[in-house]
Amino acid sequence: MADFRLPGFDKPLTSPDFYVTGVLRNFREASQALGFAVETLVVRLATPEEGKDPDYQIETLDGEDGAAFSGERQDFLHDDITVRIEEDRLQDQAYTAEQVKDWLNTLNGEGTGGGPVGAILSDRWTDSDASDPRD
């Protein structure tokens, strides 16, 4: 799919498969580096630099801990993982690893298994939430 666009972006990704699989792989990297389970992490996309795919930050739901990644190289953005992306460059929306898997399904022509992919706008969404779409 040559014209795959991330939610909230007008410009398609340069290499969608590389980008989305890199984000998925980096959920594991962030989990190991930060000491949190993948299920407790979300990704927030940054405003891209001219001609580049957007960098992103994988962080805890409360935003207290996170690691920044390069959208071009798909590795840590800084040698010091405590250096974060400036808040004003990050979208308010956050996406779980499951939602990123839905992006990959879309790229593979499989559609999204759970219906439309919406952002998480609240840090109050937990496994015990009655509205949890994973149930």
Residue bearing tokens 């992490």: 41
Give the mean model confidence (pLDDT) for residues 88-96: 95
pLDDT, averaged across the chain? 84
In this prediction, residue 65 has a pLDDT band, given cuts at 50, 70 and 90, of: very high
Whether 123 shows a pLDDT value over 70: the answer reads: no
* pLDDT at site 3: 82
* Residues 101 and 50 sit within 8 Å (Cβ to Cβ): no
Q: How confident is the model at residue 57 (pLDDT cuts 50, 70, 90)?
A: very high
- Overall pTM surpassing 0.85 (yes/no): no
Q: What is the mean pLDDT of residues 31-52?
A: 93
C-alpha distances (whole Å) from 56 to each of 6, 51, 109, 131 are 12, 16, 24, 27
Quick one: angle between helices 97-107 and 16-34, nearest 10? 160
Question: What kind and span of H or E run contains 98?
Answer: helix 97-107
pLDDT, mean of residues 83-88: 95
* Range 79-90 average pLDDT: 92
Q: Percentage of the chain surpassing pLDDT 90?
A: 67
Mean pLDDT of 108-121: 57
Q: For residue 46, which of 1, 77, 81 has the smallest C-alpha distance?
A: 77
Amino acid at 12: P
